[in-house]
Homo-oligomer: A and B are copies of this chain.
Amino acid sequence: MERKRIAIIGVGLIGGSLAIRLHEKKISSRLIGVDASKEHETKAIELELVDEVLPLEEAIAQSEVVILAFPVDKMVGLLPSILDKVENQIVIDLGSTKSQLTEAVANHPKRGRYVATHPMWGTEYSGPAAAVRNAYENKAVIICDEGDSDLDALEWTKAMYKKIGMHLLSMEAKAHDLHAAYVSHISHITSFALANTVLEKEKEDNAIFEMASAGFESTVRLAKSNPAMWVPIFLQNKENVLDVLNEHIEQLKKFRDKIEQSNEPELRGLIEHANNIKRILK
């Protein structure tokens, strides 16, 4: 594919890691960074994630592709005004929720220039220093409401994701938000809550932390994740998140009840049922 001038708005973990990939895969001819934080901008230059840093308006004007990688609450506010400034650029967002965002620009005259996407990749760290090589590889990317994007914008976006090694899934924004609640948002909530559960007790005793095992680490690591990213996700996807969270609390109560009753066969039944996750996770 022909190299393009690409602006990345938000050069943290998500945008920074994509920048590395766009450069490596020779997708970008020039990478322009924009960030609400001066410190992040300086760091992004220092780490050579982007070639230069520009104010938002100028970055849009000088680019052929504009990629949005910042918290989803800011996105809903900024996307319409970014589309206002667009001539023929392709605008792609990488946010974790899709319904509010697509609704916010549903009637925008430049809606066709915009492609709503969610690459299913991230780590529990944040900021430009958290950006890593080989991000996104072999992961899924969801493209939402494809019919609302201009064909050229859609095709370029798909080609870009394929070139960085992702496999494409197509979904409506509403379906995306429902499924994302199950495969991503709930994992973060359980991890945050588990950390708080353990930290409650840590006041009493430090010994537990010397014992922390790989299993513990794996269920709790997401609890390091950035509130600036996750608070808006939970609130924008409130209905789905509450739905799955209530279900999860019910499932935990089943475990509690069976343990309380020392009901061995039914406790075993719950665990055997959970083992079916082997079908999905290799």
Contact = CB atoms under 8 A, between A and B. Distances in A.
Contact of A242 (B194, B214, B259): B259
Contact of A249 (B209, B249, B259, B278): B249
A156 interface: no
Given A196-B273, A262-B235, A180 B211 contact: yes
A256 B194 CA distance: 14
Interface in A102-125: 120-124
A187 B175 contact: no
Residues of A in contact with B, size category: 35 or more
Contact of A188 (B193, B197, B215, B249): B215
A248 B281 contact: no
Which of A140, A219, A248, A260 neighbours the largest number of chain B CB atoms within 10 Å of its CB? Answer: A219
Interface string A207-248: 111111111111111111101001100110010011011111
Given A120-B213, A200-B247, 12 more contacts: A175-B207, A182-B198, A186-B198, A192-B270, A194-B248, A199-B276, A218-B219, A224-B275, A224-B278, A234-B259, A234-B267, A245-B252
Query: Which 5 residue pairs are nearest across A and B when measured between Cβ atoms?
Result: A192-B274, A227-B271, A195-B277, A195-B274, A193-B251
